[in-house]
Amino acid sequence: MVGAGKISGAYLATLAGLDSLRLTAVTDLDPGRAAAAAERAGAQVAGGVAELVARDDVDAVLNLTVPAVHAEVALAAVAAGKHVYGEKPLAATREEAAAVLAAARAAGVRVGCAPDTVLGTGTQTARKAVDDGLIGRPVAATAFMTTPGHEAWHPDPEFYYRPGGGPLLDMGPYYLSALVHLLGPVVKVTGATATPRAEREIGSGPRAGRRFPVEVATHVTGVLEHAGGALSTLVMSFDIHAARLPRIEVHGTTGSLSVPDPNGFEGPVELFTDGAWRPLPVAAGYPGAARGTGLADLADALATGRPHRAAAELAEHVLDVMLTLLDAADRGTALRVVSACERPAPVALRSQVN
């Protein structure tokens, strides 16, 4: 594991309960954090990325670094012949993402990428409802992520407001990955952005009260055209104090579907037909999934010879969609999305990850 920051705790909790994965080594820029994570997992501390990827007891690298160095760490792991599973986004630029995928193909290793929340029972049950035709032909979707900003709770929030951050690149992968699972890849986008505040103030931790500059758009809205013709409306914001908006809804020719927060693995799925909403029973997805399920799915895929679901190709497409949306907002026009990907295989409810 490279990076033992805040998100690593969720992964450590999941890894402890998975038979298919064993954490062997940890490194972090902060040796104390690396030591604490290693002790918790019964692993060893590595002196750095180069030392970690060279170890014989490392088959795959879990990349939990900040977005700006996702590609750098992934490329180091691939060069050492290791599989990689990383936090989102896959990389900070299209060029970096393409380089990671090209290197992995040449080395014969696999690259996976968060979010794996879409493999849980929430999004997968909703996907099954769409695939089973319960709302007819999908025609539209909405996706909303609204918050006043992460600086209120995160003690080191600056990276959220630097290039590679912002609400779209930070939270958009959850929502866009879910939309691709539900409706397929995106072929065209348009959008608009805003940066209402030039500075933010850290609200917690030892540096509380310190102000820092905002370097990216903090409110993003867009319209996405999917390959099947459905249109999705997207709002990602660090500038909304409170809202009563749904997370995701999908609307079809005969009904509508309420989809739970894609930042979580579970949640209620509701179907509107014949004039009323009704809850759908859990019908698909990994039950009891948590962060790290995507890495376990990758390990199982290696063992069984199938494609892994939280794949870098999907992450590359999602990154391209987000960057194209930002480009479209800057230019004030609609733009085609160059990349494409396959919808990952659905997760049947009987599937288990261990």
Residues ≥6 apart with Cβ < 8 Å to 202: 151, 155, 157, 208, 209, 210, 211, 212
Query: For residue 274, with 0-12 CB atoms within 10 Å meaning exposed, 13-18 middle and 19 or more buried, which class applies?
Result: exposed
The domain spans of the chain are: 8-113, 117-286+310-336
C-alpha distances (whole Å) from 81 to each of 4, 21, 27, 58, 104 are 22, 18, 18, 10, 9
Q: Are strands 44-45 and 25-26 parallel, antiparallel or unpaired?
A: parallel
Q: Looking at the predicted structure, is the pLDDT value of residue 254 above 90?
A: yes
137-159 pLDDT, tens digit per residue, is 999 999 999 999 999 999 999 98
Q: How far apart are CA 287 and CA 39, in angstroms?
A: 28
pLDDT at 163: 84
Query: For residue 344, with 0-12 CB atoms within 10 Å meaning exposed, 13-18 middle and 19 or more buried, which class applies?
Result: buried
Residue 240 near residue 176, CB atoms below 8 Å: no
Q: How confident is the model at residue 92 (pLDDT cuts 50, 70, 90)?
A: confident
35-47 pLDDT, tens digit per residue, is 999 999 999 999 9
Q: How far apart are CA 264 and CA 304, in angstroms?
A: 27
C-alpha distances (whole Å) from 80 to each of 75, 291, 300, 305 are 9, 25, 21, 22
Q: How confident is the model at residue 120 (pLDDT cuts 50, 70, 90)?
A: very high
Q: Looking at the predicted structure, is the pLDDT value of residue 228 above 90?
A: yes
Q: Looking at the predicted structure, is the pLDDT value of residue 354 above 90?
A: no
Residues ≥6 apart with Cβ < 8 Å to 234: 142, 143, 144, 172, 175, 176, 191, 220, 221, 222, 223, 224, 325
Whether the domain at 8-113 and the domain at 117-286+310-336 fall into the same CATH topology: no
**What's the average model confidence in pLDDT over 93-122?**
97
Domain 117-286+310-336 in CATH 3.30.360.10: yes
Q: Looking at the predicted structure, is the pLDDT value of residue 21 above 80?
A: yes
Residues ≥6 apart with Cβ < 8 Å to 84: 60, 61, 63, 73, 74, 77, 78, 100, 104, 109, 110, 111, 112
Residue type, 328: A
259-305 pLDDT, tens digit per residue, is 999 999 999 999 999 999 999 999 999 999 999 999 999 999 999 99
Residue 260 near residue 269, CB atoms below 8 Å: yes
CATH of domain 8-113: 3.40.50.720
pLDDT at 182: 98
